[in-house]
């Protein structure tokens, strides 16, 4: 899965990188993916999967290795 952690969320990326590939086998619930990556869901204000905004509280939402995940903090930019 292609992951982009925007703004200060880049702190949680491997080696503090904001863009990285994260392998996913099969399907995994979105919140589980965040937990395994070490990104606190409480720090994510907006989540996009394949260019569409999704709700983190949608427990039926899953991601696969073919997806792109964009995570935005409450504030970013400058």
Q: In whole angstroms, what is the distance from residue 57 CA to residue 25 CA?
A: 22
In 3D space, the residue among 78, 68, 75 whose CA is nearest the CA of residue 30 turns out to be 68
pTM, 2 dp = 0.90
What homologous superfamily is domain 2-72 in, according to CATH?
Beta-grasp domain (3.10.20.30)
Give the model's pLDDT for residue 75: 79
Give the model's pLDDT for residue 57: 87
Give the model's pLDDT for residue 78: 58
The tens place of each residue's pLDDT in the chain, 78 residues long, gives 999 999 999 999 999 999 999 999 999 999 999 999 999 999 999 999 999 999 998 989 999 999 999 999 997 555
Give the model's pLDDT for residue 76: 56
Domain ranges of the chain: 2-72
Return the structure tokens found at 50.
Answer: 């394949």
């Amino acid at each position: 899965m292609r992951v982009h952690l925007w703004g200060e969320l880049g702190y949680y990326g491997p080696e503090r990188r904001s863009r990285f590939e994260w392998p996913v086998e099969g399907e995994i619930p979105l919140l589980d993916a965040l937990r395994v990556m070490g990104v606190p869901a409480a720090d994510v204000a907006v989540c996009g999967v394949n260019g569409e905004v999704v709700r983190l509280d949608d427990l039926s939402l899953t991601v696969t290795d073919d997806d792109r995940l964009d995570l935005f903090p409450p504030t970013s930019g400058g």
